[in-house]
Chain A
Amino acid sequence: MSEQTIRKFTERAGSLGARVFQFTNLSEAENFLSKFFKERDIKSVLVQKKLEKNFPALNQIFQPPVLDFAEAEKAQAGFMLADFGIADTGTIVQFYENDLEKLPGILPLVCLSLVFSEKIVESAEAISGFISRHLAQGKQVALISGPSRTADIECKQEIGVHGPAELIIILIEGKSD
């Protein structure tokens, strides 16, 4: 992916209220995450299953896989892997095979999402066929752009009304294994 596209992605995501941190590899990201969770005193992270193996050092704070939504509700943060990033709108794209995978992005106040630079596309149209094929198989898809927000009280922007108040994007050079 071109540097220009990645720059556009980070700028647009930033303009929507997401914070983007760039790293060259997973190990750098793991260091950042360890520090982040420690500083924020986050001891319980709801994590998508597909990410657990990438961050062995963080396993002690990753909640074990949950089958119960109410249990998941107790997590202080969610951590997920984006299937794509969309530069045009600063969006991360998530494909879900089951509802448990959605929970890190919908329940906690803090949501972190990993995205690999190779997965950043210029526009939603570029992955339209890909998304359609997944939908046809009964998968669900979410396009997430910034934190949960509302302007329902006097048109004043407030964040975190239902979903995460913080969306932190961990952008890693290259592609996922």
Chain B
Amino acid sequence: MKKIDPYLKAVLDNFTTNYFASRDRAFSGLDFESLRQELAEIREQSLERNQELLNQFIAQAEKLGSKVILAKDSEEANQNALNILKKHRINKLVKSKSMVSEETRLNDFLIENGIEVRETDLGEWIIQLDKEHPTHMVLPAIHLTRKDVAKIFSKKLGREITDDPALLVRIAREQLRKDIFEAGAGLTGANALIADTGAMMMVTNEGNGRLVSTIPPVHIVFTSIEKLYANLSQVFVLLKMLPRNATGQVITSYVSLIAGPHNQAQYIILVDNHRSELMADSVFKPVLRCIKCSACLNICPVYRLLGGKQYSHIYMGGIGTLLTAWIHGLEQSKDLAGLCLNCHRCDEICAVKIPIADLIIALREKLNLELGKPVFKEMIFDLVIAHQNLHQTLFKMARTARPLLKTKDNFARKLPAPFGKYERFRALPLPAEKSLTELWKTQSASTIKEQGLEVKKLQLYPGCLVEHFYPEIGIDAAKVLNRLGYQVDLIEAGCCGFPALNAGFREAGEGVLAQLMKKIKAENTIITLCPTCTLMLKRAGEKLSAQVFPFNKFIFEKELGSIQNFVPDKKLNKTICYHESCHQKHSLKANEASLELLKILAGENFIALKNADSCCGFAGSFSLDHPEISEALAMDKIYSIRESGAEVLALDCPGCLLQIKGACYNSGLKIQVLHLAQVLASYLL
């Protein structure tokens, strides 16, 4: 069970708000998409040519007087660093920030071997004094308050220090300057290695990197083999991206380009730690494009709740999970892999277009295959979901038991105590009295034809939540489409297979999708009512992908004029706001269609929801695996909805509807939560 620290959450929320404002300013006048495309291609080429660039870099760096050492793993890298220090009879080392040295646990190793190690980056020094590890790749001590820092400094110096940040910074300068002058060696990381000149590039804001690489007589560069670039022009592309995406700065205070030693001896230790294997893996290779900007952490809803202490092994967040699996072993990534919501926000902000969310799904599959499947999930996905008849039978049984399970408000009765955590914050729905398939047969939704309108055929795929829990959404969608002149056939199928795929049961998921595909008529447009199902259907190939339309996008793109003509003066008479579902916004990019439709329909009754695109915390089985995180996200959403004062919340995703409707009910927030199809039906019919 993860713990959510309200202070840390507030700090990370505040940091993120400021970060995005600065980032927007920093990217002003630049096209982020084309810049990241360019950088992604550079990184990809560098990985393709890694061995060639590595050889070139080594030859050039050694020509300039550096000694380059290749280390296959942490042990070898740490031992080499120790050997260098011993060779030069050095017993004190100062360091500037190096995540690779965190990766190899260099400090612990050197200290065990009698070396005094001093971190000089302020954040790193603070956590070193606090005997902690970094919780953010760029801001390592983000979890500590100024009071914490004052306490840590007071203990270190043996006197009372006040919590004035300017004073704390001044003290750090004085203390660390002494250390830098006393040290026999300075160790830095590197943001880039430039093959054609044998130079390294390092970005810092504090200036400690410059001191550490200049003052002590020995300079050790401690970095990893994937950071190669062919030339400086490529590094300047990196430089255009890195500070903007990392901290919202146009440029950092210092960019150091170091080619060979001047007065000192210089060693460059290049750590592999399974990166060569990762580079050869056709699925996971993009992970090594990472430039460690941490933007994916800043945008991650789970990281913002847990921070890097709980959401890391050493590397943090989703990208950290992937790196951990290769660098520190699959076992270490097991729990972390379950923390990804699959919201795809990280994909949108990644500086080098790493498909982090999809790679986490691939990692879950790898974990299942190599470390064994969790028994309960195996039962659900390999047995129930994969066998649609069993799936349907179980829902039929649940519908039969409905009268015994329901409350007066049509939610499920409270679950027994051990399951209380799943419903503490939200009332759970019961399967509807009749499934959509059953209702469909009793209603005329599929056959209505408008006089004088050409009848066009569509297929409607409702997805399992609409099929079993919210059939009224399917009926309303069909009626709206009928009204617009379409004949709608229902695809009688339950699950699309995504829950299984998402949990790493790819075979089961794709099996379910294959069954569903058999029911799709090749010539028809497919309308979907759930963004996640839409994503899954789009996996079935380019041809089908072009045929599949989310309901909102279809209406907006094909029928906006018809809707405006139907009711030219009518507006929704209730105030309405809109929740942007993760897959709808971040994967399908289809949220704008709903927003525009609602603004047209509601006019001045439309209220912009604050943090409309923040995740509601449902994310399928995530809300069962991590109810505490799901609850925190849901409560943030409820807060925004309550603050909006709207009478209706519209959305596009039945999963979000389940979560938000149940959370509103338990929070006593009286608001109608409706799928867009229901909003349109109430408007048009």
Contacts and interface: CB of A to CB of B under 8 A. Distances in A.
B214 A106 contact: yes
A141 to B, nearest CB: 4
A41 interface: no
A89 B149 CA distance: 33
B239 A73 contact: no
Interface string A142-163: 1111111111111110101111
Contacts of A5: none
B257 A153 contact: no
A164 B253 CA distance: 10
Contacts of B168: 153
Interface size class of B (residues with CB under 8 A): 35 or more
Given A138-B259, A153-B122, A158 B165 contact: yes
A106 B186 CA distance: 15
Contacts of A99: 214, 262-264
A129 B146 CA distance: 45
Interface in A39-76: 69-70, 73
A96 interface: yes
B233 interface: yes
A139 interface: yes
Contacts, number: 160
B352 interface: no
Contact of A145 (B18, B252, B263): B252
A149 to B, nearest CB: 5
A16 B197 CA distance: 30
Nearest to B205: A149
Contact of A132 (B139, B196, B205): B196
Contact of B122 (A102, A124, A136, A150): A150
Given A106-B214, A152-B126, A158-B169, A96 B232 contact: no
Contacts of A160: 169-170, 173
Given A99-B214, A138-B260, A163-B253, A153 B149 contact: yes
A140 B258 CA distance: 5
A135 interface: yes
A13 B141 CA distance: 29
Nearest to B170: A160
B38 to A, nearest CB: 13
B574 interface: no
A148 B257 CA distance: 17
Interface string A109-142: 0000000000000001100100110111111111
A91 interface: yes
Given A131-B232, A139-B259, A145 B197 contact: no
A162 B145 contact: no
Contacts of B126: 152-153
B177 interface: yes
A142 B233 contact: no
A4 interface: no
Contact of A106 (B140, B146, B199, B210): B210
B176 interface: yes
B624 interface: no
A129 to B, nearest CB: 8
Given A131-B257, A148-B253, A163 B210 contact: yes
Q: Which of B169, B256, B258 has the most CB of A within 10 A?
A: B169
Contacts of B254: 142-145, 148, 163
Contact of A138 (B11, B65, B236): B65
B324 interface: no
A124 B236 contact: yes
A142 B206 contact: no
B122 A135 contact: no
B293 to A, nearest CB: 15
Contact of A153 (B146, B177, B262, B263): B146
A147 B253 contact: yes
Given A132-B231, A156-B165, A98 B263 contact: yes
22 contacts: A12-B250, A16-B253, A73-B181, A128-B233, A131-B232, A135-B197, A136-B196, A140-B256, A142-B210, A146-B253, A148-B206, A149-B205, A149-B206, A151-B205, A152-B139, A153-B141, A153-B146, A153-B149, A154-B146, A155-B14, A155-B142, A161-B122
Given A91-B251, A136-B196, A138-B65, 15 more contacts: A12-B250, A16-B250, A128-B236, A136-B60, A145-B253, A148-B254, A149-B205, A150-B123, A150-B169, A151-B205, A152-B121, A153-B165, A153-B169, A155-B11, A161-B206
Q: Which 3 A-B pairs have the closest CB atoms?
A: A163-B207, A152-B123, A143-B255
